[in-house]
Chain A
Amino acid sequence: MSPANLLRLHSPLGDLDLPYHALGAPDRPPRAALVAGLQGDELNGTFVLARLAAYLRALEAGERRGRLKSPVVLVPCVNVAGLHAGRHGWPLDNTDVNRTFPGNATGETTQRIAQAVLELTREAYYRVDIHGSDRHLEELPQVWLFDPHDDERSTACQFGLPVAEQPAHGSYAGSLYSAWRPWPGECFVLQAGLAGALQLAHSERLFRGLVAFLERTEILEGVELSEDEDLHYFGAAQLVSVTADRPGWFVSHLDVGRWLVAGDVIGQMYDGFAGNVLAEVRSPVSGLVAAIRRQPLTFEGELLARVHAGRHRVAGVPTAGSHVPP
Chain B
Amino acid sequence: MPAQLVRETIAQWALPYHGEVRLERLAVGAHGGPRVAVVAGIHGDELAGMYLCQRLAAWLEGLLDRDPSAVPGRIEVYPTANSLAIGALSREVPALQVDLNRCFPGDASGPMSHRLAGALLGAVAGAALVVDVHASNRFLRELPQVRVQKDLANTHLALARAMNLDLVWLQGTTPGNTLRQALGECHVPCLSVEMGIALRLEAGFVRQAMLGILCAMRQLGVLKVDLPDPPVRSIVADDANIHYLNAPAGGLFEPRVEHGAWVAPGEVIGHVLSPYQGRPLADVRAPCAGRLFTLRELPLVETGSLLARVVDKDAQRPLP
Binding site for B on A (CB under 8 A): 9-13, 16, 88, 92-94, 106-112, 170-171, 173, 243, 246-249, 272-273, 297-303
Contacts and interface: CB of A to CB of B under 8 A. Distances in A.
B96 to A, nearest CB: 7
Interface size bracket, B side: 35 or more
B254 to A, nearest CB: 13
Given A108-B246, A273-B17, A298-B16, A12 B111 contact: no
B110 interface: yes
Contact of A272 (B16, B102, B115): B16
A109 B302 contact: yes
Contacts of B319: none
23 contacts: A9-B304, A10-B250, A16-B302, A88-B97, A92-B300, A93-B139, A94-B91, A107-B246, A107-B304, A108-B304, A109-B302, A170-B176, A171-B176, A171-B177, A243-B111, A249-B16, A272-B16, A299-B95, A300-B112, A301-B107, A301-B109, A301-B111, A302-B96
Contact of A13 (B111, B250, B277): B250
A11 B304 contact: no
Interface of A is mostly: loop
B13 interface: yes
Interface string B85-114: 000000100011100001000010111101
Given A12-B275, A301-B115, A108 B305 contact: yes
B18 A272 contact: yes
A300 B14 contact: yes
Given A11-B303, A107-B246, A170-B176, A299 B13 contact: yes
Given A12-B276, A12-B277, A301-B112, 12 more contacts: A9-B303, A12-B250, A12-B274, A88-B97, A92-B302, A93-B137, A106-B304, A107-B244, A109-B305, A112-B303, A247-B14, A301-B107
Contacts of B17: 272-273, 297
Given A9-B302, A108-B306, A247-B13, A299 B96 contact: yes
A92 B140 CA distance: 13
- Of B14, B109, B249, B303, the most chain A CB neighbours within 10 A belong to B303
Contacts of A297: 16-17, 95
- Of B107, B277, B305, the most chain A CB neighbours within 10 A belong to B305
A13 B249 CA distance: 11
Given A109-B304, A112-B303, A246 B14 contact: yes
Nearest to A94: B91
